[in-house]
Structure 1
Amino acid sequence: MACLGMAFMMLNSWTDTHPSLNLVLSSGGSVSVVYGCMVSAVGALATGLSLAELCHVYPVTGGQYDWIYILAPDHLKVGLAYVVGWLASAGWCTLLGICAAYCASMIPGFVGLWNPDVEMTKWQIFLLYVLFAILGFSLNTFAVKLLPMVEKTAFYWGVVGIVTVSITVLATAAPNFQPPKAVFATFTNETGWPSGVAFLLGMMQSTLGLAGYDAVTHMMEEMPAPSKNAPKVIMLAISMGAVTAWLFLVILLLCLQNLEEVMTSPMGPLVTIYLQATNNRVAATCLLLFNFIAVVFMTQGVVTVASRMCWTFSRDRGLGHVSPYLAPVHPKLLVPVGSLIFVLCVSVVIGCIYLGSDVAFNAIAASGLTLVQLSYLVPILMAFIRGEAAFEGQPRTWSLGRYRRVVNGVSIAFLVVTCTFFSLPPALPVTGPGMNYAVVVLATVAILSTLVWFVDGRKRYFGPTELETRLSEGRRTW
């Protein structure tokens, strides 16, 4: 249950889909919101199935980082493992930035409800961002024994939250619902891009809401029968996330009363819809608290996974000269404090985008999503190329069989298309404040990883270690 709670908490899809709802509504309107979520769900399910099979056959805590080393030809093993290790580590550090940004973006909603004349500045949002990142770090460093309980609580909070919020919004908005055409058949394009590109850009929020399902693979050492249970958790988390996200988005579209206000309100789209539906500040505040606390839970969980990924990679000296400082586990706290500090520092640096961008959340989201999805793409592509040979002779109780290449192919197409288009500016013409800084983040990761390779990695990095021991541990039946 703790691992399921973590997986559901990582995705938290129903509450992940709202922060940039105003931008999505201008990038395809309700068509992008409703049908974009469906497309994202299909892509996530195909990717999840591909990863679940790898997880079942090769249950190791490095996840995609270990899998590519196992699957790749001997002459490519080390290089590809290094690339995927950097993508996964940087991606999860950036996902922490996304979670901290979620939390920070909700505070203006609370403030605006009770003090409409107060408008928070960029630097105030940035300071809140840092505060929430530090909160996640502190829980993982000094209260690690409480984490299983926190993860279970997060699961129940999320389930109770979506039921309570959905019933309340529907009941208070009735009978003033939007007509079916406005919910299911309105296409709006204010981006300057062609309609097809606008639709794909509008998919980013729903795709982000379904990302991060590799989280459970990095926690397999702490769950019973990992090779059996981890794949189930991956698929269950995606399925629950997709259904709850789609229903929640449809309810929001159904209950909003003034679209222009939703797209322009400084309070943010979610709290504006809550206020329009309930016409009551206290009710809107209480509803927003469900989302806010769910995202705080998610921030704590992302810190856990990000630090585990960096810790695993640093044990193999994948992060160069800083690796010896990240790999040790603190003898009293029993956590990799160096990795936790590293994750916190990286996420704070990424958060500086808030100081120079008018679409900071989208830029951070696009960065984290692209990095993580690229880390999925490499091992899935290798499994697609090798086919059954990638799994031959390994103990397993199920497989994708003849459907493997179809499922892998759908996943690869989805990952390539989304990673490409999510790096584009959200609107044309491109301005400095409106630029998509995901390209800058991706370029920085590429440059840093290349420098570390030539300075340290090519001499001291040899790929994942102790794979056989960790595989044996992952295949235990208890």
Structure 2
Amino acid sequence: MASHNLESKVDVIEIVTDDFDKVGYTKADEADMAKQNKTQQFHRRFNFLTLLSFAAATLATWEAVLFSNTTAMYNGGPVTLIYGFIFCWIGALATASSLAEMASMAPTSGGQYHWVFILAPRKYAVFLSWITGWNAVLGWIANLTAGVWFSGTMIQGLLVLNYPSYIYERWHGTLILFAALLCCVIVNTLLGRVFPHIETFVLVLHVTGFFAILIPLVVLAPKGSPSSVFARFTNIAGWDSNGLAWLIGLISSNLPFVGYDSPCHLAEEVRNASIVVPWAMISTIMLNGVLGFAISIAFSFTLGNSQTDLMSPTEYDFIQVFYGATNSRAGSSVMTAILIALVTCASFGFLASASRQTWAFARDKGLPFSGFLSHVDKRTALPLRSIGFCAIVSAIIGLINIGSTVAFNAIVSLTIAGLFISYLTAIVLMILKRVKRETIDFGPWSLGWAGLSVNLVAVCFLLISVVFSFFPPATPVSLMTMNWSCLMWGGSTLIGLVYYVVRGRKNYNGPIVEKAIVLTEKSIG
């Protein structure tokens, strides 16, 4: 695998530092970087615990069950939320396992586009790698925007709850979005050295916050009957087929599992990455899956009149459920504030993943202004320019919310389309390799005999998820209720293809070969 791109452009990167012996990488990491022809530019500050904390907090599964359940409630109600969660949990585990195998094979920050280049037939490797990288960058920036947008609008929901005279304005939400985004930038830059420890603390909040929400719901809220939760299908959306409605409602169960590739993009900052990254991906799916499933059941049992809750002036049904359980604005405000804090903390990880994905793709000349975006600050060993770029693009997307929530939602829906298509491309190529019985240079973490079966389950899940994520959430369909995500994804992809034809194909030849000249403190003398 070390010679996978020997014809590519060779860059010579000179690393001069008096702190090189504190980078923290192991012999295995050094071998992995050499195999991928990449130089070590980051400090390896993450171990298994801190990476698991990062991944679990970034996934924010149980939190997302509460604030992203609307489509499921319109398309089946609790039946879709609960059974859809099980379906997406299995699919996410199969997909994450497939990606984890590739992350062990090639633990670099580039992730999907790097693996696609390795796995694809030589004739198509460069183009498939580029389009995968483009989709992954779009998906992660959209995910960052969605995270800070949820933070802002939930704060507006609290204002509506506590101050009924408050007028819900979209530009208010955008300003709060900016504030949440600024917090993300500060944590990722000024607090970059202690970022892994911050994530460990966030994991503690993630788990304790779960119980702080679950216990009041279970103890205080009125309970529905088991039949209303597990057997009654409520098709508020108006589709002729309940099966179609259930599939469309899956978007509410997919969003809680978006981003399980986040550890991959920090691979060059993780000690013993070829083993730690895969286990962190699998462990976070299991941990978050358990917490998310428990919240799905608790929320479904304590949901009152679903149509009334969905029409809540706070624009979030879970806030209405909290208020119905506690019969207290203060109590429901505290419970909602926990969610807001955790979603904002999850956005720390969104920005970290988006910036590393952007930086890696720029390092390989895949983006406009790659020379600028691929810079790593020598003092902090952080990709400060990529962090700033992702934050600025996210802020610009946030401005669209002022003019139209429909347009804004269409853009942030790129999260599922962009990321899932990047996963799908890599896994399909792995399947082709396995079916043709071609040689695959696996890493120390492998699916072994179960690999093909797991890959096939992942592909089926991803195809279903992507296709039905483009459907409108309800009928009748109007300009305001239409799901424009297909148009936005298609338009973004078209813009990328135009760039690729005009300039990108001249610059991008797949992951480049880097040669490091390392000057240690002793050699500097």
Q: Does structure 1 residue 262 correspond to structure 2 residue 315?
A: no
Partner in structure 2 of residue 116 of structure 1? 164
Q: In the alignment, which residue of structure 2 is the partner of 1:142?
A: 190
Normalised to the residue count of structure 2, the TM-score between the two structures is 0.84
The answer on whether the counterparts of 1:20 and 1:362 sit within 8 Å (CA) in structure 2 is: no
Q: Which structure 2 residues correspond to residues 126-165 of structure 1 after superposition, within 5 A?
A: 126-165=174-213
Distance 2:248 2:413 in 1: 10
Of 203, 206, 218, 2:250 maps to 203
Residue 284 of structure 2 is aligned to residue 228 of structure 1: no
Per-residue CA deviations over 1:159-196 (Å, capped at 9, x if unaligned) read: 111012111221222xx311111111221112233322
Q: Given the superposition, is the C-alpha separation of residues 254 and 60 from structure 1 closer, same or farther in structure 2, using an over 3 Å criterion?
A: same
Contact 1:26 1:190 survives alignment (8 Å): yes
1:179 aligns with 2:225: yes
Deviation of residue 9 (structure 1)? 1.0
On the 8 A contact 1:353/1:364 being kept in 2, the answer is no
Q: Alignment identity in percent?
A: 31
Measured at CA, do residues 39 and 468 of structure 1 come closer, stay the same or move farther in structure 2, by a change above 3 Å? Answer: farther
Are the aligned partners of 1:384 and 1:408 in contact in 2 as well (CA < 8 Å)?
Answer: yes
TM-score if structure 1 supplies the norm length? 0.92
For residues 30 and 206 of structure 1, what CA distance do their matches in structure 2 show? 11
Query: Are the aligned partners of 2:359 and 2:383 in contact in 1 as well (CA < 8 Å)?
Result: yes
For residue 15 of structure 1, the aligned residue among 50, 53, 63 is: 63
State yes or no: 1:70 paired with 2:110: no
1:474 aligned residue:
none
- Which amino acid is 1:400 matched to? L
Matched positions, count: 466
Shift of 1:353: 4.6
CA RMSD, aligned part only? 2.0
1:350 to 378, 397, 404: 397
| Residue of structure 2 in register with 1:335 after alignment | 382
Q: 1:68 offset after TM fit, Å?
A: 0.5
Given residue 147 of structure 1, which amino acid in structure 2 is its aligned partner?
F
The amino acid across from 2:201 in the alignment is T
Do the aligned residues in 1 keep the contact of 2:104 with 2:442 (CA within 8 Å)?
no
Matched residue, 1:5: 53
> Does structure 1 conserve the Cα–Cα contact (< 8 Å) formed by 2:104 and 2:275?
yes
Q: Which has the larger radius of gyration?
A: 2
Partner of 2:370: 323
* Aligned equivalents of 2:212, 2:162: Cα separation in 1: 23
In 2, distance between residues paired with 1:451 and 1:222? 33
CA distance in 2, matches of 1:324, 1:100: 28
SS of 2:446's equivalent? coil
CA distance in 2 between partners of 1:334 and 1:225 (Å): 19
* 8 Å Cα contact 2:433-2:440 kept in structure 1: no
Partner Cα separation in structure 1 for residue 233 and residue 309 of structure 2: 16
Question: Of 427, 430, 438, which aligns to 1:380?
Answer: 427
> Is 1:309 aligned to 2:357, yes or no?
yes
Q: Does the aligned pair in 2 maintain the 1:22–1:264 contact within 8 Å?
A: no
Given residue 256 of structure 1, which amino acid in structure 2 is its aligned partner?
A: L
**Which residue identity does 1:142 align to in structure 2?**
L
Q: Tell me, in whole angstroms, the C-alpha distance in 2 between the residues paired with 1:214 and 1:390.
A: 26
1:417 maps to 464
Aligned to 1:215: 262
**Match status 1:408 vs 2:445:** no
Partner-residue secondary structure (3-state), 1:17: helix
Q: Which residue of 1 aligns with 2:321?
A: 273
8 Å contact kept, 2:96–2:281:
yes
Contact 2:107–2:268 (Cα < 8 Å) also in 1: no
Letter in 2 for 1:186: R
SS of alignment partner, residue 310 of structure 2: helix
Contact 2:57/2:206, CA 8 A, preserved across alignment: yes
**For 2:437 and 2:278, how far apart are their aligned partners in 1?**
17
Distance 2:364 2:443 in 1: 28
Decide whether the 8 Å contact of 1:142 with 1:333 is kept in 2: no
Contact 2:136 2:357 in 1 (8 A): yes
Q: Deviations over 1:356-410 (max 9, x none)?
A: 5455675345321111000100010000111077883636445323322211111
Given the alignment of the two structures, is residue 96 of structure 1 paired with residue 144 of structure 2, yes or no?
A: yes
Q: Distance in 1 between matches of 2:87 and 2:484?
A: 25
Unaligned residue ranges in structure 1 (runs of 5+)? 470-478
Q: CA deviation at 1:136?
A: 1.2
| 1:362 to 1:200, Cα distance in 2 relative to 1, 3 A | farther
Q: Distance in 1 between matches of 2:318 and 2:406?
A: 17
Q: Which residue number in structure 2 is paired with residue 450 of structure 1?
A: 497
Q: CA distance change for structure 1 residues 167 and 390 in 2, over 3 Å: closer, same or farther?
A: farther
Shift of 1:112: 2.1
Q: Deviations over 1:10-59 (max 9, x none)?
A: 11100012223233211111111110101111110110111111122222
User: Which residue identity lines up with residue 434 of structure 1 in the other structure?
Assistant: T
Matching residue of 1:82: 130
Query: Is the CA contact (8 Å cut-off) linking 1:57 and 1:396 kept in structure 2?
Result: yes
Tell me how far 1:429 sits from its aligned partner: 2.6
Structure having the larger proportion of residues in helix: 1
The more displaced of 428-437 and 403-412 is: 428-437
Deviation at 1:152, TM superposition (A): 0.7
